[in-house]
Amino acid sequence: MPRTIFAGTGYYVPDRVVTNRDLTQLMDTSDEWIVERTGIQERRWVDPGMTSAEMARRASLMALEEAGLEASAVDAIVLATLTPDVFFPGTGVFLQRALGLEGVPALDIRAQCSGFVYGLSVADAWIRCGQFRTILLVGVEIQSTGLDVSTQGRDLAVLFGDGAGAAVLTAGEDAGRGVLSTHIHADGRFAESLWAEASSSKKNPRISADDIAAGRHYPRMEGKEVFKHAVTRMPEAIHEALAANDLTTSDIDLLVPHQANLRISQMVQKRLGLEDRQVVNNIERYGNTTAATIPIALAEAIREGRLKRGDLLALVAFGSGFTWGSALVRW
C-alpha cells in the first residue's frame, strides 16, 4: 500500500505587517496585553484586491517548486478554509482554475483551525487506497476582512492574521517513510463557542441590516472555554496517535501545533514534556491564520532545517466546531 509523502511545502503571507501598536490606533488595547495573553507581536493583513485563491496559488507554486513538479502533476486539490472568497463555489475550484488544472477534482474542507489536519486525513486515505497519487493540500485564510476592529471586537481582532500554506503530497513506496496515521474528531455541542452566525441560509435574506448592526457577521468566541478545551484535546490527540503507532512522546522530534495562542502551545508542550527546540512557534509574527497555521509553520521549519530524514513529525490542531486532530509523519 502506498504511503503519503510530503514532497514539497510552501507558503505565502501578505506584505502588509500590522503590529500590536498599529492596532492601538483602532481599538483600546496595548502591546503588553496582546503579548502577555497571546504571544502575538504582529500579523499580516491583505491589501484590497487580494483573494484567498491567489494566496493559495502562490503558496502552491512554492510547494510545487520544492517538490520539483509542474502543476500538471496534481491529480486532486484539497483546500481548507473558513473564509472562502465567495459563499459558493469553494475556493478550491478558483485555485484549480488559476493553476490551469481543468478536470482535476477540488474539494473544500470546512473544519476551521483543524482544516489542514482534516484535509491531510482525506488526502492520505485517497493516496493509500490508490485513488490519487499527487495531491495539493492547501490551508488558506483571509481573516482580516471579517474582524470587528473596534474595541468591542478586540478579544478576537488581535488574534487573527491572513496567509496560505500548501503541501504537495505524493504516493511513496518506502514503508519506512510518510504519514503514519491521522486521527480527527469533533464535538458539535460547542459549535457556538466560536462561530460567525451571519450570513446564514436559515434566513432570507441571508444577511440583514439588523445582523450587521448587531455584529452577527463577526466571529464570536468564548475565549476561556476555547482555551480550556484546546489544551486538553491537543495533548489527547497526540497521545492517541502515539499509542496507535506504539510510540511515546520521547519519539517526537518536532511538533507543529496549530498556532492559536502561544500560551496554548506552551501548555501543550509542557503537557507532552517537549523541549523548546522540538516545538515550532511562529504566532509571534503571523497571529492565528486558522487553516493556514500548520502548513505555514511546517514550511518555515523545513526551510530552517529543523526536520531531517527519519525524524518523527507530529501535527496537532484544535478549533471551532469544536474540531481537533493529529497526524504523525516519518520524515
Nearer to ligand ACO by C-beta: 104 or 264? Answer: 264
CA distance 287 to 142: 12
Residue with cell 517513510: 177
Residue 291 found at the interface with ligand ACO (CB under 6 A)? no
Residue 29 found at the interface with ligand ACO (CB under 6 A)? yes
Does residue 258 have an active-site annotation? Answer: yes
Residue 12 found at the interface with ligand ACO (CB under 6 A)? no
Does residue 129 have an active-site annotation? Answer: no
Grid cell locating 217: 457577521
Q: Pick from 67, 169, 226, 237: which binds ligand ACO (CB under 6 A)?
A: 226
Nearer to ligand ACO by C-beta: 112 or 134? Answer: 112
Site for ligand ACO in 261-290 (CB under 6 A): 261, 264, 288
Selection from 70, 90, 74 nearest residue 82 by Cα: 90
Residue 260 found at the interface with ligand ACO (CB under 6 A)? yes
Each residue 99-128 as x (binds ligand ACO by CB under 6 A) or -, in order, gives --------------x---------------
Residue 324 found at the interface with ligand ACO (CB under 6 A)? no
Q: List, in order, residues 6 or more apart from 81 with CB less than 8 Å away.
A: 52, 90, 91, 108, 109, 110, 115, 139, 140, 141, 290, 291
Grid cell locating 147: 474582524
Does residue 113 have an active-site annotation? Answer: yes
Burial of 260 (0-12, 13-18, 19+ CB in 10 A): buried
**Residues belonging to the chain:** 331
Binding segment toward ligand ACO, per CB under 6 A, in 91-99, 138-146, 152-160, 238-246? 152-160
> Is there a contact between 291 and 315 (Cβ–Cβ < 8 Å)?
no
Number of residues that bind ligand ACO (CB under 6 A): 23
Hey, what amino acid is at 125? A
Grid cell locating 62: 512554492
Catalytic member of 20, 113, 183, 229: 113
Residue 154 found at the interface with ligand ACO (CB under 6 A)? yes
Grid cell locating 283: 504566532
Expressed in angstroms, the distance from the first to the final Cα of the chain is 18
Selection from 314, 217, 282, 279 nearest residue 43 by Cα: 282
Catalytic member of 20, 183, 258, 282: 258
Residue 33 found at the interface with ligand ACO (CB under 6 A)? yes
Residue 195 found at the interface with ligand ACO (CB under 6 A)? no
- Active-site positions? 113, 258, 288
Q: Binding residues for ligand ACO, per CB under 6 A?
A: 29, 33-34, 37-38, 113, 154-155, 158-159, 194, 221, 223-224, 226-227, 230, 260-261, 264, 288, 318-319
